[in-house]
């Protein structure tokens, strides 16, 4: 990308991603461009598809849960067109890597809110926990999950309507921060964040990335 166009794009994207310096935004745009090229796309209409995006979650951030990786993709994909644009990429990473506690609460709730109706129901909690605990034998697993759901709802469902609203979730997480990723890991750990930032912002990105 020519320098003038890059500067214009960096200036524009920086306005929606306050946690990154302009030099960091430029690095993220360059990474985005390289990923789009690898998936055979055109930089002029640059968009990341779901498989490429999931590859980053898996290879760099160590995510393995299919359901949660898909949900993280959909939270990044704000306009719901099944692609992540440059703006969505940088804005999403600003929360994913360096978000405030409040931003991370909102992000995790959006990941767990599988139906987009503003609530995490008992059934959806079951689906997420069953998915993340699928290594255990199914009968023991189901009983254990049901007990876990009861405990979780007791702790988080403040209005006792058998589902968790954002207000319930926020209140519970602010009381006990360990509940932030209670239904499965959907944020990178500190080690993964540092690894990513070292690779990208210090220009140590391997050719095979």
Residue 193 burial (CB < 10 Å; 0-12/13-18/19+)?
middle
CA pair distance 54, 66, nearest whole angstrom: 9
Cβ atoms of residues 83 and 47 within 8 Å: yes
- pLDDT at residue number 85: 93
DSSP 136: S
User: How far is residue 50 from each of residues 6, 53, 69, 198, 203, measured CA to CA in Å?
Assistant: 25, 5, 9, 24, 25
- pLDDT at residue number 175: 96
- pLDDT at residue number 144: 83
- pLDDT at residue number 130: 82
Name which of 58, 52, 67, 176 is nearest 112 in CA terms. 67
DSSP 162: S
- pLDDT at residue number 204: 56
Domains and CATH numbers, the chain: 3-99+189-201 (1.10.238.10), 102-181 (1.10.238.10)
- pLDDT at residue number 77: 96
164: enclosing H helix or E strand: strand 163-165
Cβ atoms of residues 125 and 63 within 8 Å: no
- pLDDT at residue number 2: 73
User: pLDDT per position in the chain (209 positions), as tens?
Assistant: 678 888 999 999 999 988 999 999 999 998 998 888 766 555 546 789 999 999 999 998 999 999 999 999 999 999 999 999 999 999 999 999 999 999 999 999 999 999 889 999 999 999 888 877 765 555 557 788 889 899 999 999 999 999 999 999 999 999 999 999 999 999 999 999 998 999 888 865 554 55
Q: Which two tokens stand for residue 133?
A: 């605990």
- pLDDT at residue number 45: 62
């Amino acid at each position: 990308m020519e320098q003038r166009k890059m500067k214009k794009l960096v200036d524009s994207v920086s306005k929606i991603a306050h946690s990154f310096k302009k030099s960091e935004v430029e690095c993220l745009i360059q990474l985005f461009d390289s990923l789009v090229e690898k998936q055979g796309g055109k930089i002029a209409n640059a968009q990341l598809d779901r498989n490429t995006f999931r590859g980053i979650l898996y290879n760099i951030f160590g995510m393995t849960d299919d359901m949660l990786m898909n949900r993280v993709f959909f939270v990044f994909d704000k306009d719901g067109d099944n692609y992540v644009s440059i703006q969505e990429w940088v804005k999403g990473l600003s929360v994913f890597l360096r978000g405030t506690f409040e931003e991370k609460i909102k992000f995790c709730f959006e990941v767990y809110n599988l139906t987009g109706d503003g609530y995490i129901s008992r059934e959806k909690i079951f689906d997420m926990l069953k998915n993340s605990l699928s290594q255990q034998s199914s009968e023991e697993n189901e009983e254990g999950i049901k007990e876990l759901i009861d405990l979780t709802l007791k702790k988080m469902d403040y209005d006792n309507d058998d589902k968790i609203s954002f207000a319930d979730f926020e209140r519970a997480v602010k009381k006990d921060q360990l509940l932030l990723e209670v239904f499965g890991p959907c944020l990178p750990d500190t080690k993964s964040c540092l690894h990513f930032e070292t690779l990208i912002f210090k220009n140590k990105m391997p050719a095979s990335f």
